[in-house]
Structure 1
């Protein structure tokens, strides 16, 4: 019998522990794919978000990136500074809101993001594909529900 401190018979019964294991396993695969490009996972997520917003003709701002990515402000700020120094992103004053910073991909940033998104999506497809399309859809719905109720 496990110590009374635990509410589960075994670690595999804990949804938090299972989510942790799954996340670490998935992140390891993503990191391995991104390492040759010298881009962190957080930096990739920011590039992908900016690419997405630019694709739907919505002006990405730093706060919009924070909201969409769920990364903390400091991580986004540091990542953006690094991406600017790499020549992948440019930040400028927002046209309408002087407090906001608009974020845009440079040509180099757009090229890299467009190259990396399919690589990461292929990893996702293989990683999550082990459960089949129907279960993937259910997983997406459950994760969206959990995230939205805990914001």
Structure 2
């Protein structure tokens, strides 16, 4: 472990890793005209499309963990760029459905390949993408993501000692 992070809290390490990942993805997909947040939207749509789903903006927001208003803003920018189309849901006129355009499918496929390369680099120290340590890491992350966080249940002493 790097001495820079000795004594760091798990919260700080999660924050640093997520920041490192976001910056790396931003830089890697920028030549395709995407940001990390836009990549999250189109890559999620790409996967949902493969399973036959054409999600609403709300469903996509729930799936990605992004705020619905932010997904709406990202979708409008991606629509302007010609990567996705937004249409009214025939079952609910208030809802907007999202789908990748042909160009969106092409660009997203390229971006997914680039991000997979980054993921291989990130997980190499854990034995690679399919190694037992990486699988355990994914299991641990999944467990943590399933944990409900309620700031109102924290004690004042916990707040004073925790970094980001």
Per the shorter chain, which TM-score range? 0.7 to 0.9
1:110 CA displacement? 0.8
| Aligned CA distance change for structure 1 residues 60 and 16 (closer, same or farther; 3 Å) | same
**RMSD of aligned C-alpha atoms?**
1.5
Q: Name whichever of 40-49 and 11-20 sits farther off.
A: 11-20
Query: Residue 125 of structure 1: which of 105, 117, 120 is its match?
Result: 120
The answer for the alignment partner of 1:141 in structure 2 is: 139
- Mapping of residues 95-114 of structure 1, within 5 Å: 95-114=90-109
Q: Is the 8 A contact 1:30 1:120 kept in 2?
A: yes
Q: Secondary structure at 2:54's aligned position in 1?
A: coil
| Aligned CA distance change for structure 1 residues 12 and 39 (closer, same or farther; 3 Å) | farther
- Mapping of residues 71-110 of structure 1, within 5 Å: 71-110=66-105
The answer for the alignment partner of 2:64 in structure 1 is: 69
Q: Secondary structure at 1:100's aligned position in 2?
A: strand
Q: Which runs of 5+ in 2 are unaligned?
A: 150-164
Query: Residue 41 of structure 1: which of 36, 39, 42 is its match?
Result: 36
The answer for the alignment partner of 1:55 in structure 2 is: 50
* 2-structure distance, mates of 1:97, 1:149: 32
| Aligned CA distance change for structure 1 residues 29 and 93 (closer, same or farther; 3 Å) | same
TM-score scaled by length of structure 2: 0.81
| Aligned CA distance change for structure 1 residues 12 and 31 (closer, same or farther; 3 Å) | farther
* 1-structure distance, mates of 2:7, 2:138: 21
1:56 CA displacement? 0.6
Q: Which runs of 5+ in 1 are unaligned?
A: 1-9
1:150 CA displacement? 2.1
TM-score scaled by length of structure 1: 0.87
CA deviation string 1:2-30 (max 9, x = no partner): xxxxxxxx864300001111112222211
Q: Stretches of 4+ moved more than 4 A in 1?
A: none
